[in-house]
A and B are shown apart, each in its own frame.
Chain A
Amino acid sequence: MSLKFTAPAAKEARPPQPPARTSMRGHLREYGMILSLALIVIFFEKMTNGALLLPLNLTNLVLQNSYIVIMALGMLLVIVAGHIDLSVGSVAGFIGAIAAVLMVQFHLNMVLTSVLCLGIGAAIGAAQGYWIAFFKIPSFIVTLAGMLVFRGLCLVVLAGQSVGPFPVIFQKLSSGFLPDLVTGAKLNVTSLVLTILLTVAMIGMGVRNRIKRQRNGISQDSALFFGLKNAVMAIIVLGLGYLLSSYRGLPNVLMIMIVLIALYTFVTLRTTIGRRIYALGGNEKAAKLSGIRTERLTFLTFVNMGVLSALAGLIFAARLNTATPKAGTSFELDVIAACFIGGASASGGVGKVTGAVIGAFVMGIMNNGMSIVGVGIDWQQVIKGLVLLAAVCFDVYNRNRS
């Protein structure tokens, strides 16, 4: 299409800003978060005299936080869509209970049970999402109700008792590691190779993205900064992979997490459904008038949340090797905190998957580090609360300044 305007344009009043600046400012939050995560790691590494990054503890860290990270992925979508889900902890507990009853008391096989449980999770998400999306009942209220209902049902299913232990194969979901194909080596070679492949893939995608942006003349980081960023990232990933390989290799749960993180990053950044969720949370009316089926989309984010809560519930139950009536209590708070520490906006439309994952690990490393140092559970909560507040304050301050 070509188009000639007969009127001369008014003089360009504002000189365009230097591109590097805009790009830097856009990512200030992200780099800031990675930096603070690094500082927290270094701090606790010192305080624990190196215990934090011991291969054993590192493995524990991954296992302890896997279910929070997995639920944070779903919660991020819910929060970006402009909602909240308070029921995830109860749902996770309830699903764990169902899995226990099916496997331990009815001796149902593991695959069938898992599929069934994920299906129930979807149904729970659908039931809550239905009221929120189509009846316009505030999600805070619907999921507060859900939090009570599913905690209660969890007690009902377990008859107030703990049920366990699970079949060994189900325990592997949480406590298993990738088998090493090379036997006899000191390190887990398979895990190490996978780590290297992962690193190469990440750098490859970064370069591809960069070339694409360049071709379209979109502002981006300088080449030096890009190289530095990737080098640091590669060192960190390889280092962590090496440490894990020197213990028992990559945990199964970590593989599930990596796949899910990659999937949700892709969905949020590159797919139409992801884009539509951001538009929905940013301005629901404008999104609707642009032809987006906002109700259906809200409904689907809650279905997705239900499935991920169920998956987290399975992993948590497998980790404890028993389903308890208290399982999952106050998980919702850690999950929601992870998203907000990760830069999601409470008013919707803003937030990143990588942010939520980093937020989850900020919380997880503080939990772990403080426990090793011997800070009591009382002060741990105080400190975590203050960190959440500080992170959001930093966000608001940043937003007001720009």
Chain B
Amino acid sequence: MDAILEMRGITKTFPGVNALDNVNLAVRRGEIHAIVGENGAGKSTLMKVLSGVYPHGSYDGQIVYQGEERHFRTIADSEKLGIIIIHQELALVPQLSIAENVFLGNEQARYGVIDWLAQMGKTKALLATVGLDEPPETLVTHLGVGKQQLVEIAKALSKEVKLLILDEPTASLNESDSDVLLDLLLAFKAQGITSILISHKLNEISKVADSITVLRDGATVESFDCRAEPISEDRIIRNMVGRALDDRYPKRTPAIGEMLFEVRNWSVYHHRHAERQVVKNIDLHVRRGEVVGLAGLMGAGRTEFAMSVFGRAYGRQITGTAYLDGEPVDLGTIPKAIARGIAYATEDRKHLGLVLDSSIMHNISLANLDGVARRLVIDDGREATVATDYRRQLKIRSADILQITGNLSGGNQQKVVLSKWLYADPRLLILDEPTRGIDIGAKYEIYTIINRLADEGKGVLMISSEMPELLGVCDRIYVMNEGRLVAEMDAADASQEKIMRSIVKAGEMAS
């Protein structure tokens, strides 16, 4: 086997934690090699060891790249040899142009003076390679996430990449953008570029990967060669979580009751571009004990709708009426919305959901501080009891309730956000992409929590871009496209095709 990269017996410990334990990884020249594993399994740590973020000497084991043992001390060392890593969180400067970003730190310059003509020309050529049709002088801030991802790849190509590492590249992309990206990887493969793809999305992996390595709890579980035999998703999942997952969605017998929440004729305009209507005349309702899905492509206006309902946290010129238990209700500010029993758990937990410098305990109590306080004084004993309770119930994995949330894995951070809103005791919980970027085990636990809320007679409105998840968890699904509700269906008669068809049809009718 012609290996471009072999990592042998990699062991990396942090104080008190064994992050990687004797991990082996072999990547063949010219293949697409997928690495899968739950969050916290050690995928990102392994890539940081490879790229020199953790310098040689801070880990045990060997890295053999292109036939020689390598001792990378910095990222620059590994980049020099063509190992380029694209992180999940993009590292672009929004206020600079595409061309400036592509050649950032590597400017086409002589004696410090930038040769703009050469830089623009080369950028144009690179953008053509990645299939991005934008002028090189466009500011990155004006691009969507999908296009920004392509800019990152163009940047990698500008450095003569031999081994391209993508960490969760499609986590924040919609399906069509994801497809573009995956096709690009296949095109690179044809040109002889090797890729390592870290992903949670097994359907993507089965589409493009030649080999798969599964990590669990910091150790290699198994490596598959997909060319030798077809690999079933179930088998991968079994390896990832160490158990058979008969059903990815916990069962629930729906007990749907009275009308809980309703909006009629709800419209919202963009918070900056006053003439752009992002939510158009929406009528929607949620009953007690009902889990309602909101499907749609990215940019359909689902988050904007949800946040505008939640105390006008988004948008301008919000019109329409909200009803709670059949009565019109004023949700004009966030404190009012919370007081009426509405909660919104954001899709962007790092920027909008958590105070990352603060402890689990302080984050959980934040939306309902009055619940742990007598008048203005916080009863820290009660606060600790509440936090301990949620930590146990939601299985938040941490040293204790005083651990800083910034140090938790994505799944555990999401559970802290959920705990915060559960403690606010809402009647309607709006969940925006509640399982984005978290592993399968934690997803299952979050579905279980959703089921419990429904069983308690609360209403849940769930926004998700993963259609199987909506089909598996919801009782009823609305489909949203370009600010309008274009379909409503019972989950029992819904299917991925049916949802997609209603989106496409709406798009055709609009154009």
Contact, CB under 8 Å: A288 / B420: no
On chain B, the number of residues with a Cβ less than 8 Å from chain A's Cβ atoms is 64
Tell me which of A5, A218, A291 contacts B400 (CB under 8 A): A218
Contacting residue for B338 out of A271, A279, A282, A291, CB 8 A: A291
Query: Are A16 and B241 in contact, CB atoms less than 8 angstroms apart?
Result: no
Once the chains bind, are B399 and A16 in contact (CB under 8 Å)? yes
Name the one of A3, A8, A21, A279 contacting B366, with C-beta atoms under 8 angstroms: A279
Interface of A is mostly: loop
Closest Cβ of chain A: how far from B6's Cβ, in Å? 25
Selected contact of A272 from candidates B17, B358, B376, B399, CB within 8 Å: B376
Q: Complex: how many Å from CA A12 to CA B17? A: 11
Nearest CB in chain B to that of A25: its residue: B15
Q: Does A352 contact B (CB under 8 A)?
A: no
Contact of B369 with A278 in the complex, beta carbons under 8 Å: no
Task: Please give, as numbers and ranges, the residues of chain A lying within 8 Å of B399 by CB-CB distance.
Answer: 16-17, 19, 22
Closest to A3 in B: B393
B370 at the interface (CB under 8 A from A): yes
Known: A218-B402, A291-B338. A272 touches B373 (CB 8 A): yes
B334 at interface, CB cutoff 8 A = yes
A222 interface residue per 8 A CB criterion = no
A14 to B42 Cα, complex, angstroms: 12
Tell whether, in the assembled complex, residue A285 and residue B351 are in contact, meaning their CB atoms are under 8 Å apart.
yes
Chain B neighbourhood of A285, CB < 8 A: 351-352
Q: Kindly name the residue among A10, A273, A286, A291 whose own CB sees the greatest number of chain B CB atoms within 10 A.
A: A10
Whether the Cβ atoms of B388 and A216 lie closer than 8 Å is yes
Q: In the assembled complex, how far is the CB of residue A270 from the closest CB belonging to chain B, in whole angstroms?
A: 5
B38 interface contact, C-beta 8 A: yes
Cβ 8 A contact of A289, one of B352, B357, B401: B352
B355 touches which of A219, A293, A349 (Cβ 8 Å): A349
Partner of A13, one of B217, B366, B384: B217
Q: Measured between alpha carbons, how far is A18 from B311 in the docked complex, in Å?
A: 43
Q: How far is the CB of A213 from chain B (nearest CB, A)?
A: 8
A24 close to B (CB within 8 Å): no
Give chain B nearest CB distance to A12 CB in angstroms.
6
A226 CB to closest chain B CB (Å) equals 17
Q: Does A136 contact B (CB under 8 A)?
A: no
Shortest CB-to-CB span from B11 to chain A, Å, is: 15
- Interface residue? B132 (CB, 8 A): no
Residues in B neighbouring A287, C-beta threshold 8 A = 355, 366
**Is the CB–CB distance between B366 and A7 below 8 Å?**
no
Nearest residue, chain A, Cβ from B440 = A10
Q: Please give the distance in Å from B25's CB to the nearest CB on chain A.
A: 19
A window 212-235: CB within 8 A of B: 212, 215-219
Mark interface residues in A270-308 (1 if CB within 8 Å of B CB, else 0).
111101101100110111111111000000000000000
B residues 390-421 with Cβ under 8 Å of A?
A: 393, 395, 397-403, 420
B4 CB within 8 Å of chain A: no
Are B400 and A16 in contact (CB-based, < 8 A)?
A: yes
Cα distance A35–B62 in the bound complex, in angstroms = 44
Interface residues of A in 17-40 (CB under 8 A from B): 17-19, 21-22, 26
Interface pair A282/B357, CB less than 8 Å apart = yes
Residues from chain B with a CB closer than 8 A to the CB of A289 are: 310, 313, 334, 344, 346, 352-353
> Looking across the interface, which residue of chain A has its beta carbon closest to that of B447?
A7
Q: Smallest Cβ distance from A288 to chain B, in angstroms?
A: 7
User: When the two chains form the complex, which single residue of A5, A17, A26 contacts B395, counting CB atoms closer than 8 Å?
Assistant: A5
Query: Does A9 interact with chain B (Cβ within 8 Å)?
Result: yes
Tell me which of B311, B401, B439, B448 contacts A5 (CB under 8 A).
B448
B13 to chain A: closest CB distance in Å? 11
| Interface pair A1/B400, CB less than 8 Å apart | no
Which residues of the partner chain B approach A5 to less than 8 Å between Cβ atoms? 395, 445, 448
* Chain B, range 351-393, C-beta contacts under 8 Å to A: 351-358, 362, 365-367, 369-370, 373, 376-378, 380-381, 384-385, 388-389, 393
A282 & B241 in contact (Cβ 8 Å cutoff): no
A268 → B minimal CB distance (Å)? 11
The answer to whether B346 and A271 have CB atoms under 8 Å apart is no
Say yes or no: B400 contacts A22, CB within 8 Å.
yes
A279 and B384 form a contact (CB under 8 A)? no
Q: Are A270 and B378 in contact (CB under 8 A)?
A: yes
Of B250, B402, B439, most A-chain CB atoms within 10 Å: B402
Q: Is the CB of A283 within 8 A of B376?
A: no
Closest approach, in angstroms, between the C-beta of A271 and any C-beta of chain B? 5
The 8 A CB mask of A42-62 against B (1 = contact, 0 = none) is: 000000000000000000000
**Are A7 and B444 within 8 A (Cβ)?**
yes
Chain B contacts of A7 at CB under 8 A?
Answer: 245, 250, 441, 444-445, 448
In the complex formed, the residue of B with least CB distance to A209 is B380
Place the interface of chain A in its size category: 35 or more
Whether A14 contacts B397 in the complex (CB less than 8 A), given A7-B444, A282-B356, A289-B346, comes out as: yes
Within the assembled complex, what's the spacing in Å between the Cα atoms of A273 and B381? 18
Q: For residue B400, which residue of chain A has the nearest CB? A: A219
Determine the distance from Cα of A19 to Cα of B452 in the docked complex, in whole angstroms: 33
Instruction: Please pick, from B243, B337, B353, the residue contacting A8 in the complex, using a CB distance under 8 A.
Output: B243
Q: Which of B15, B217, B377, B381 contacts A271 (CB 8 A)?
A: B377
- Report the bound CA distance from A286 to B397 in whole Å: 22
When the two chains form their complex, are residues A19 and B400 in contact, meaning their CB atoms are under 8 A apart?
A: yes
Tell me, in angstroms, the Cα distance from A275 to B383 when the chains sit together. 12
Whether the Cβ atoms of A10 and B357 lie closer than 8 Å is: no
Q: Which chain A residues in 291-340 approach chain B with CB under 8 Å?
A: 291-293
Separation in Å of the B449 CB from the closest CB of chain A?
A: 8
Q: In the complex, A3→B455 CA distance in Å?
A: 11
Q: Is A11 an interface residue (CB 8 A)?
A: yes
A400 / chain B contacts, CB cutoff of 8 Å: none
Please, which residues of chain A bring their CB within 8 A of the CB of B445? 5, 7, 9
Q: Could you tell me the distance between the alpha carbons of A8 and B73 in the complex, rounded to whole angstroms?
A: 41
Is A212 touching B358 in the complex (CB atoms < 8 A)?
A: no
- Chain B CB within 8 A of A6 CB: yes
Interface residues in A191-245 by Cβ distance below 8 A to B read 212, 215-219
Which residues of A (57-90) have their CB < 8 Å from a CB of B? none
| Whole-angstrom distance between the Cβ of B23 and the nearest chain A Cβ | 14
Contact B38 A291 (CB under 8 A): no
Known contacts A218-B400, A282-B357; A10 and B313 CB within 8 A of each other: no
**Binary interface encoding of chain B residues 443-479 relative to chain A, with 1 for a CB under 8 A from any of its CBs, else 0:** 0110011001000000000000000000000000000
Contact, CB under 8 Å: B241 / A10: yes
Q: How far is the CA of A218 from the CA of B380 in the complex (A)?
A: 11
Quote the shortest CB–CB distance from B333 to chain A (angstroms): 8
A376 CB-CB contact with B under 8 Å: no
A184 touches B (CB below 8 Å): no
Residue of B nearest to A5 (CB): B448
Q: How far is the CA of A224 from the CA of B510 in the complex (A)?
A: 74
Are A273 and B357 in contact, with the CB atoms below 8 A?
no
Closest residue of chain A to B365 (Cβ to Cβ) is A275
> What B residues does A293 contact at CB under 8 A?
335
Residue among B241, B365, B378 facing the most chain A CB atoms (10 A cut-off): B378
Q: B218 and A3: CB pair below 8 A?
A: no
Interface presence of B332 (CB below 8 A)? no
**Hey, which chain A residues are within 8 Å of B217, CB to CB?**
11, 13
CA distance A189 to B389 in the complex (A): 51
Q: Across the interface, do A212 and B356 meet the contact criterion of CB distance under 8 Å?
A: no
Q: Is A374 an interface residue (CB 8 A)?
A: no
Closest Cβ–Cβ distance, residue B477 to chain A (whole Å) = 24
- B376 A273 Cβ-Cβ under 8 A: yes
Query: Inside 8 A of B385's CB, which chain A residues have their CB?
Result: 216
B144 within 8 A of A: no
Asked if A290 and B366 make an inter-chain contact with CB atoms under 8 angstroms apart, the answer reads yes
User: 7 A-B contacts, Cβ less than 8 Å apart?
Assistant: A16-B400, A17-B16, A270-B377, A275-B362, A275-B369, A275-B378, A276-B369
What are the 9 tightest A-B residue pairs by CB atom distance, in nearest-first order? A282-B355, A216-B384, A290-B367, A10-B441, A291-B338, A272-B369, A17-B16, A283-B355, A13-B217
Given A14-B17, A291-B311, 7 extra CB contacts under 8 A: A21-B16, A218-B384, A270-B377, A271-B377, A282-B355, A283-B355, A291-B335
> Could you tell me which A residues sit within 8 Å of B by CB distance?
1, 3, 5-19, 21-22, 26, 212, 215-219, 270-273, 275-276, 278-279, 282-283, 285-293, 345, 349-350
